[in-house]
Chains A and B, each alone.
Chain A
Amino acid sequence: MTVLAPSTLIVLREASVAYGAVQAVRAATMRVSQGDFIAVVGANGSGKTSLLRLLHGVVAYTGSREMLRPSGVQAMVFQRPFLLRLSVWNNLRIALWLAHPDTATALRDERAEQALRRVGLGALRDRPARSLSGGEQQRLALARGWAVRPDILFLDEPTASLDPSAKKDVEALLADFAADGMTLVMSTHNLGQAKRLATRVIYMDDGRIDIDLPTSDFFASGTPGRAGLFLKGELSWSLDG
């Protein structure tokens, strides 16, 4: 049996996800280590979101998924964040209560305050969460993810539905989170974003992990196979995105 490095958080071995007859992830083998910022790229329907859900453990799978810290906290930010019809403040408090039920309320409230300040929503704490703009809602979702101090934060195309300004704000926050040492795994269509933020890039094709390389290697010329074609097709418009 392979001994995992202490920095390893999650290991997948031949893990697959199927939705009925549709094979979304096929025999994925990979690991996520402390401090990684992994960008998962690929065409629509290539299995990016399913890979994130598999890593997060919120979807049924076959094969092996091993967590080095089974009690560790994970969080996920979805493309369209689901916010409860409550105030911004109560959305944060509920997330903290679910993740850390044994922590003192005062400490949870302090973390919620910190999270709001961090994403620049301090002035909107009493607003109904669903009345925020799309960018503000995504920042609140990021605050909710960050506040629970996760070992890993999963992000499913977090900027896909945002305007350029909101996209820039969210990218800046993600860069801050990464600089703090948080482990992030993000699916994205935006290769420019992957190049700017990630330390590793995974290219998915038809449910398979086709390529898993450090970012600089992935974007170096000569990336083989369909990933190379994908890269050529995307670079012209999305590296500047």
Chain B
Amino acid sequence: MSAVTESFSTAFRLIVHADPALVRTVALSLAVSGSACLCAAGFGLASGAWLAVARFPGRRIVLLVLDTLLALPSVVVGLAVYLMLSRSGPLGSWGILFTPAAMVVAQTILVLPIITALARQVVADALRDGGDQLRSMGAGVLASALLMLLHERWAVATVMLIAFGRAVAEVGAVMIVGGNIDGVTRVMTTTIALETSKGDLPLALALGLVLLVVVALLNVVIALFRRTSGPLAAELR
């Protein structure tokens, strides 16, 4: 049996037997990325919807900056958060560097522009269709923004999925601010990087497969929601 085949075989065994180290790592990954997306969702969705509706001087510059931040490298975010949270940094007194909390902070910053920019696009598209109607009904900027988020909730769910995919798959930021401490801040991506560098492929492969399955499952869930929200289902009665 080749090394690759043997690695795959061991990886499947780890998954099937729910290896405790594997489960712990997956759980921490999901918790950190999920928390980051939830933290970013509140501000990101609201500000994205508001940017779609509001008109103010300098809006184009704000949108340009936002689009630029979509390509924000995760290591740069990690470095910036590290500098802020390190003992000599402005937020050093929080004492959260090398904890999951620091990883949540870094991933929140990473996905915030994604959620904001995509939410803005979703709401702007919806407004092209129904903006006149909402204005005619007396909806102000805030009401229009919130109603369009509600109207496009399945598109918003997809935005959140994209953000979660970005968060759960990134390695640079969590490596820098988490430190990849076994049992404390070690998540799927940092484990894959570490185990691969050590030549221990089975665990890295198992985690890689789990990562793919997680993202695929989320896609399936969103697709099912979309389907059941069609004409046969009563929506938000």
Residues of chain A touching chain B, judged by Cβ–Cβ distance below 8 Å, are: 53, 56, 58, 73-76, 78, 81-82, 84-87, 89-90, 94-95, 98-99, 126-128, 130-131, 144, 148, 154
Contacts and interface: CB of A to CB of B under 8 A. Distances in A.
Interface stretch (B21-29, B107-115, B126-134, B163-171): B126-134
B135 interface: yes
B129 A87 contact: no
Contacts of B87: none
Interface stretch (B44-52, B182-190, B212-220, B228-236): B228-236
A58 B150 CA distance: 23
B130 A87 contact: no
21 contacts: A56-B136, A58-B132, A75-B136, A78-B132, A78-B136, A82-B130, A82-B134, A84-B147, A85-B152, A86-B235, A86-B236, A87-B236, A90-B236, A95-B137, A98-B137, A98-B138, A98-B143, A128-B233, A128-B235, A130-B231, A154-B136
Contacts of A58: 132, 135-136
B139 interface: yes
Contacts of B139: 98
Contacts of B59: none
Given A78-B133, A82-B129, A99 B233 contact: no
Interface string B136-169: 1111000100010011110000000000000000
Contact of B138 (A85, A90, A99, A128): A99
B237 interface: yes
Contacts of B230: 128, 131
Contacts of A127: 234
Nearest to B143: A98
B133 A81 contact: yes
Interface of B: 129-130, 132-139, 143, 147, 150-153, 229-231, 233-237
A205 B154 CA distance: 44
A127 B235 CA distance: 8
A85 B135 CA distance: 17
Nearest to A127: B234
Contacts of A99: 137-138
Contact of B231 (A73, A84, A128, A144): A128
Contacts of B234: 87, 126-128
Give the interface centre of B129, B139, B233 by most chain A CB atoms within 10 Å: B139
* Interface core residue of B150, B231, B234, B235 (most chain A CB under 10 Å): B235
B237 A90 contact: yes
Nearest to A94: B147
B55 to A, nearest CB: 12
Contacts of A73: 138
A164 to B, nearest CB: 25
- Shortest 4 CB-CB contacts between residues of A and residues of B: A82-B130, A131-B231, A82-B133, A76-B136
A87 B236 CA distance: 7
A61 to B, nearest CB: 14
A85 B137 contact: no
Given A58-B132, A82-B133, A85-B235, 13 more contacts: A56-B136, A82-B132, A84-B147, A85-B151, A86-B150, A87-B234, A87-B235, A87-B236, A98-B137, A126-B234, A126-B237, A127-B234, A130-B231
Nearest to B152: A85
B142 to A, nearest CB: 12
A44 to B, nearest CB: 19
A154 B234 CA distance: 30
Contacts of A89: 237
A75 B139 CA distance: 12
Nearest to A130: B231
Most buried by A among B130, B134, B138, B230: B138
